[in-house]
Amino acid sequence: MTDLDRFLCVCHGDPADPPDYVPIFGFAGAPGLSGGVLRQLHRRLVAQGMPEWVDGDLSLSQPYTVDSWCRYWGTTVPLYADFFPADAGGPGFQVDCRIEDDWQVIESETGAVTRQPLDNDEIYFMPHYVAYDVRDRASWEFYRDRTTPGPAWSSERIDEAARKFDGRDRPLCVGAGSTWGWLRGLMGPEMACTILHDKPALAHDILDYQTWIRRTYIFPMIERLRPEVIATGEDMCYNHGLLISPRHFREFCAPAYREIGEVARDCGVTMVAVDTDGNFMELVPLLEECGVNAIYPAEAKPGNDLFALRDRHPNFIFMGWLEKECVNEGMEHLIEAEVLGKVPPLLASGRYLPNLEHAAQPMATFDNVRRFMTLLHDVTGNPEGTFPRLR
């Protein structure tokens, strides 16, 4: 079987057509241990015994590859459509960066101000967003006019860019933006919540613009590429659940997801996935109403219960849910219970891709990653990877 064959078998969940083994698979942004680690941890793993030739040295500001990481650790990642079918559009913004003590301060022409550690590309702490790009209708219209893409490509030009993905042996992913998550990114979580009550017309205008982007640029890509995955990013759940009400989800978000779901069905897309942190127990049924069938990275600490969700949503695809802290220094005693207590029963119920949730932390150790991956390979029947097993 190819990586694509295995992925499709897991997603279809047909007991009569199982994969030869369940892959250790993850998306960029929440790769678990499937697609590299941030640079600080990569250096630590190499210092503790991982070969220097193993790539996956992730920096948020630089291109990276994970081919040798996947070969060494026996993991897999999707392909990504690497073009956007539009000519040059708005001029963007001028950005000023300066150093204040141990902080980098980034000021945008939009009025946004961000403070972050100097080496944040390598370690990543949540930046301090002093001010956001959008604060009212005027700032939204300024942002929109400076970022609107240019004319859409012709179908012939899209076809030319898409041909390299024909005959692929790994699943292909196309991003389809966001709904409320885009509001949160533009104006911060507090205003993204209150705007639904205080200025619903402005919220609808911003989300309608995203709908126009999808219809004009992204849906033609999907129609040509016929990807296996359409992925969106919301981050609309925090440690106690949804940040917005189900009523507001159905009003502001569901129309876009229903349209994405219709395009997915028409184009034979196997997985429509939403990336969200936090407790998503209340979100899953809302997504399923709209034709979404997958969610990740299934964080453990916020109280997600994949056993309960599996009982309620037998056709939904789940990923992750293995606590990232179990591979940290001094936490190796948690690995066996974490893997054996969760993975075998979820594999038996189908439509589950096991992985460390989100991504490994800087405190992880090479030996603990080896212990974790050895056990995970054992329970998934995965024979891949050249890393030295540690039981």
- What CATH number does the domain containing 195 carry? 3.20.20.210
Question: Band of the pLDDT at 84, cuts 50, 70, 90?
Answer: very high
Question: Band of the pLDDT at 57, cuts 50, 70, 90?
Answer: confident
Helix (H) / strand (E) element for 173: namely: strand 172-175
DSSP 359: B
Final residue of a structural domain among 107, 133, 159: 133
The model's pLDDT over 101-140, given as tens digits with 9 standing for 90+, comes to: 989 999 999 999 999 998 887 777 889 999 999 999 999 9
Neighbours of 9 (CB within 10 A): 19
By residue range, what is the domain housing residue 115? 91-133
Tell me the pTM.
0.96
What is the per-residue pLDDT for 121? 79
What is the per-residue pLDDT for 64? 75
Structural domain count, the chain = 2
What is the per-residue pLDDT for 203? 98
- Do 220 and 95 belong to one domain? no
The model's pLDDT over 314-346, given as tens digits with 9 standing for 90+, comes to: 999 999 999 999 999 999 999 999 999 999 999
- Do 86 and 97 belong to one domain? no
SS3 191: helix
- Do 160 and 189 belong to one domain? yes
Q: Is residue 333 assigned to a domain?
A: yes
- Do 315 and 274 belong to one domain? yes
SS3 142: helix
What is the per-residue pLDDT for 266? 98
> pLDDT: is 63 or 4 the higher one?
4
- Report the C-alpha gap between 365 and 330 in whole angstroms: 9
- Do 215 and 249 belong to one domain? yes
- Do 188 and 100 belong to one domain? no
DSSP 253: I
Task: Tell whether the model's pLDDT for residue 60 goes beyond 80.
Answer: no
